[in-house]
Each structure stands twice: as structure tokens, then as C-alpha cells.
Amino acid sequence: MLAVVSLITADLHFNALQTTRAVLAAAATPVYWIADLPSRLGEWSETHVQSRSQLLEENARLRRENLVLQGRSHQMASLQAENVRLRALLNSSALLRDDVLVAELIGVSPDPMRHQLVLNKGEQDGVFVGQPLIDADGLLGQIVEVSSISSRAMLITDATHSIPVQVNRNGVRAIAEGTGVLGTLEVHHVAATTDIREGDLLVTSGLGGRFPVGYPVAVVSEVERDPGQPFARILARPSAALDRSRHVLLVFTAGHGRES
């Protein structure tokens, strides 16, 4: 009993068990892999058991999409070049494009209060603790635990997670905290007179140095100004598909290059 209590204290207050945890987590990965088999099978049958006409149709659609995206990426290249030139004129450091790694979800936390994902990439792939995680629509969260072959990510809606953000429209800075409810963030300590409205896009501000600047985080969904309270009560809806993404992107920021 005493051993258990000291174990809990050690983990809660001193973070002393990181390496033990990493080793054990690597051993536990197969369990997640097996638990994930049914959905993997479902996905496999969805992609392999398809009629020819469906495949042809999809192929044609993807071709069209590819063409459009290619066109856009050419445009993007010229815009980027222009951006770098303008930045050079402004004498600020050039924005480096971040390197990304695609990871696949192999499990979600069984406890509904703990918004965590298990990913199939680990230390071997260069994943590190604190690494930001995004999907096509916005920021998902960050890595909190890495073992050699898998890693565990905490979503931005977890009750213990906070992220520095700024309003895209006017640059007002704030902290968005998770609420433990999927699909709701709460923006804390914003003065009642601050210019922030429903529909405002919150992006990462890059303060704190953990998340790169400019990834969309959430859209303000509710602003409540009570004259009796010093701060406004602001709720926001995450932009990323927190409960639907199966493939996610791990971002390697400028400071943390990917050693190959």
C-alpha cells in the first residue's frame, strides 16, 4: 500500500518515472495494435472491396483535385518567394517552412476524461515530447510521452491543457484552455472590454516557444459579457477534427530539426 502511494506521489509531483513509463509503454503498444485491428479491417475492406466503376470515378475525381492543387501550389511558390523578399526588406527572419511527419492513430484513451491519442510513431522516427500535432484543419495537440515505437499525444481539449493563442483579426493574445469536453475550449482572463467577437479565428501565437506561429486553433463560438465579472466568458470550437482524424501530422519546428 505504501509502495503504491509513494508511486503515485512520485509520478504526480516529481515526474520521476518518465523513462520507466517509456519502456513499459513500448511493451504495451501491441495491445493497442490488437485493439485497433477491427477498425483496420473495416478500412481495408472499404478500400479493397470496391467496384471498378467506383474506383474509376474516384480516380477521375482525384486527378481533377490534383490538377487544381498543383495550380495552387505553383501560385504558392511564387507567393512564398515574394513573402521572403518582402520579409528580407523588412529585415526580419524568414519564416521557415516546417517539416512534417505523417502518423497514424492506433488508439484513443479509454478514459473519456483524458483526451489522449496513441500514435504509431515514436522516438525512432524522431518524435519528441512537446512536439505539436496538427491535421488538415488545425492544431490537434502535443506529444506528452514518447516510447521507442509509439507516442502519446494530448489533445487541446484535455482539461489539463492550455495553449497561447491570438485572435487572427487583430492580434489580441489570450490563453485557450481545454475543458474536458470534446469540442469546447475556454478562453480565460480576457478583459470584458477586449475586442473579441463570435466567429473570430484563434491561431497559435508562438509565445512560449512550444507551438509554431499561425496554425488555426479554434473559432470563437460564444462570448458572454457579464458586467459583474471582470473577465468575459469566451467559448471556442476547435478547428481540427479532434475525434475524426485517423492520420495526423507531427510538425518539426525550426529549433527541433529532424536528425536523419
Partner 1 sequence: MAEQEPHGYWTIAATFLVAYVLAVLPLPHWLIWARPEWLALVLIYWTIALPHRVGMVTGLLLGLGLDVLEGAVMGQNAFALVVVASLCQVLYQRLRVFSLWQQAGMVFVLVGINQLVCQWVQNLEGVGRQSLTFLLPAFSSAVLWPVVLHFLRELRRHYRVT
**Residues making contact with partner 1 (CB under 8 A):** 1, 3-5, 7-8, 10-12, 17, 20-21, 24-25, 27-28, 31-32, 34-36, 38-39, 107-114, 116, 144-145, 152, 158-160, 180, 243
38 versus 255: smaller Cβ distance to partner 1: 38
1 versus 102: smaller Cβ distance to partner 1: 1
Report how far residue 161's alpha carbon sits from residue 180's, in angstroms, rounded to the nearest whole number.
Answer: 9
The CA-atom distances, in angstroms, between 6 and each of 18, 25, 34, 36, 156 are 15, 21, 32, 34, 30
Report how far residue 246's alpha carbon sits from residue 69's, in angstroms, rounded to the nearest whole number.
Answer: 22
The one-letter amino acid at 41: L
33 versus 80: smaller Cβ distance to partner 1: 33
Tell me how far, at minimum, the Cβ of 16 lies from partner 1, in Å.
9
Tell me how far, at minimum, the Cβ of 67 lies from partner 1, in Å.
36
Question: All 3 cell numbers of residue 46?
Answer: 472499404
Nearest to 252 by CA among 90, 103, 154, 132: 132
Tell me how far, at minimum, the Cβ of 89 lies from partner 1, in Å.
48
32 versus 231: smaller Cβ distance to partner 1: 32
The one-letter amino acid at 131: Q
Distance of CA 260 to the CA centre of its chain: 23
Give the contacts of 34 (CB within 8 A, at least 6 positions apart).
none
7 versus 55: smaller Cβ distance to partner 1: 7
Beta bridge partners of 190: 232
Tell me how far, at minimum, the Cβ of 154 lies from partner 1, in Å.
9
Tell me how far, at minimum, the Cβ of 58 lies from partner 1, in Å.
26
100 versus 144: smaller Cβ distance to partner 1: 144
Question: All 3 cell numbers of residue 223?
Answer: 462570448
Tell me how far, at minimum, the Cβ of 22 lies from partner 1, in Å.
10
Q: Is the dihedral of CA 147, 152, 154, 160 positive or negative?
A: negative
